[in-house]
Amino acid sequence: MTPSKTRLQVMWNRLLAVVEEQGQALIRAAFSPIVRESGDISAGIFDIRGRMLAQAVTGTPGHINTMAEAVINLMKRFPTDAMSPGDIYMTNDPWLASGHLNDFLLLQPAFHKGRVVGFTSCTSHLADLGGKGMGPEGSDVFDEGLLIPPCKLVSEGELNVFLMEIVAANSREPIANEGDIYALIACCETGVARLTGMMDEFGLDDLNALSDYIIDTSRQGTLDAIAEVPKGTYHSTLQVDGYDAPITLKAALTVADDHILLDFDGTSGCSDKGINVPLNYATAYSVFALRCIIGADIPNNAGSLDPFRVTGPAGCILNAQPPSPVAMRHSIGQMTPDLVYGCLSQALPTRVPAEGASCLYDVPLRHTPEAARDGGQTFALELVYNGGTGARPASDGLSATAFPSGVWGSQIEPTEATAPIRINRRELRTDSGGAGQYRGGLGQHIEMVSSSGEDFLVFLSVERVRFAAQGRHGGRPGAKGRIRIGADGKDLPSKGEFRVPGDTPLILETPGGGGFGDPNARCQDALARDVDHGLISPEHAQKHYGRKDST
């Protein structure tokens, strides 16, 4: 007998609780700070057909939305009828999983009453996989570390020890990697245990009725939201820093009755450096941006994702083909929401925010070659910081906030406890938010130095150093990003490998978001409050808002 809609809704809500517990199991068990402290993960439950039913709220679009497609890819490699209880499959293939080698994706079948009823999957970022490491300097994916094709990590509960040894032997952080893989396994097992326990509690033999209800309801809700968007094709162009020369991103967004198509035709070709983006990753962030505006209240699953389609010419930088280097695919891939919003703002001008910092300020650090050779302290650490979001149509942008990545900024105490790095200063960056009726969010100022006195290496691949986040509807641009070694050092480019002397601070200033609306229309009280709180200076208020009384 088919359950009532009320009962199906209760089970759907329970499933959302299951995946959240699954995600928390991964975070709590992880070794790497970028997972444990910053939440660079995904976790989800899938039905027997590989359709994503629910995903943990904690996680990044780059992991969550790529995972939705990756599970289907893995199911094609490993037939369901050949699976056994306790099997877990794994890959870090950038074109099958999450866009670069450092992201490991696991899949475990859920057995109930002797047969597969669904799947649990998760992804997280591993600290180091050898090669040139987390940086843009690789000339192909083989330079960037160890690529593991789809394989069986656990067979009927028995760990593939040889595979674990290979991963450890190809890493500068073998203990952290081993711990993180165990955390991924725990995440999968937690999901299976909670899913099958839920099925026992509700007396379910399979998930068929529940999965159809979730998918059909979500898809229809999304189609209803699409129906509210004016039909047509909208075009947008975005200039980004690139490596040694600017890169042009282009998009055409076509809104039809039953779907939305995004096409990257006209986008610049691939780079020789590791900033290229597999289409799965570009799709993940583009669709996330659209879903933040269109049907934002509908849970993320295969049904709500289905009406969104993304394409681009093979070989463009947003559809990089193997074996292109892709280690820092997030630096360009996370700019796609601003590209998409350039299109969508033409259709929905009162609902789309201004441009933001967008690209995560991902800062991999590592010991120098001589430190490893001469017995110095060795480490590989990846720090993450955020800039300001664009101002919204009816409110200011958010300062130092992770949009679109969702990755929480690295905290001082875990950083200093994990590596020989001391954070001397971290604060909001005054005057970095673009002026407008609604102000852009502020970036931040961070200063760090070696705590051991030894030099270290930094691998930069960030954005908004050449091109600021633009305002919308008369709003002003946010401040550009800025990076230098020492207070008097020259500004560094946004990408490359640099050596930081042991007695000199590395200084990062993340970008601010663009403003929304005419600055002259800003509320007097809001402007005075900004000055009083140090978010903008009196001089900035005078120059950009023309208000002498704001001081």
Query: Residue ranges of the domains in the chain?
Result: 5-219, 353-551
Find the farthest-apart pair of alpha carbons in the chain and give their distance in angstroms, rounded.
75
The pLDDT assigned to 120 comes to 97
What's the confidence (pLDDT) of residue 476? 98
Specify whether the CB–CB gap between 40 and 125 falls below 8 A: yes
Other residues' Cβ atoms within 10 Å of the Cβ of residue 456: 25
The mean per-residue pLDDT over the stretch 298-311 comes to 97
Predicted pLDDT at 372 = 81
- Average pLDDT over every residue of 280-297: 97
3-state secondary structure of 250: strand
Confidence of residue 543 (pLDDT cuts 50, 70, 90): very high
CA 456/CA 500 separation, integer angstroms: 5
Give CA separation, 544 vs 390, 519, 541, in Å.
Answer: 17, 7, 6
Cα angle for residues 99, 104, 108 (degrees, 5° grid): 120
Measured distance CA(191)–CA(88) in Å, rounded: 12
The one-letter code for the residue type at 109 is: P
Angstrom CA distances, 325 to 249, 372, 497, stand at 18, 25, 15
Band of residue 481 on the pLDDT scale cut at 50, 70, 90: very high
* Strands (DSSP E) found in 126-246: 151-155, 158-159, 232-240
pLDDT grade for 377, boundaries at 50, 70 and 90: confident
Q: Pick the residue with more confidence: 17 or 58?
A: 17
Q: For the segment 90-144, what is each residue's pLDDT rounded down to a tens digit?
A: 999 999 999 999 999 999 999 999 999 999 999 999 989 999 988 999 999 999 9
User: Which pLDDT value is given to residue 376?
Assistant: 81
What is the predicted pLDDT for the residue at 488?
Answer: 94
Angle CA(30)–CA(452)–CA(483) in degrees, nearest 5? Answer: 80
- Is the pLDDT confidence value at 1 over 70? no
Q: pLDDT of 397-450, one tens digit each? A: 999 999 999 999 999 999 999 999 999 999 999 999 999 999 999 999 999 999
Task: Read off the pLDDT band of 146 (50, 70, 90).
Answer: very high
How much is the mean pLDDT over the chain?
95
- In the chain, what percentage of residues exceed pLDDT 90? 92
Work out the average pLDDT over 451-478: 97
Q: Is 370 helix (H, G, I), strand (E, B) or coil?
A: helix
**Percentage of the chain modeled with pLDDT above 70:** 99
Q: What is the pLDDT of residue 280?
A: 97
pLDDT at residue number 71: 95
pLDDT value, residue 133: 85
The pLDDT value given to residue 350: 95
Q: What is the pLDDT of residue 371?
A: 87
pLDDT band at 279 (very low <50, low <70, confident <90, very high): very high
Checking if the pLDDT of 533 tops 50, the result is: yes
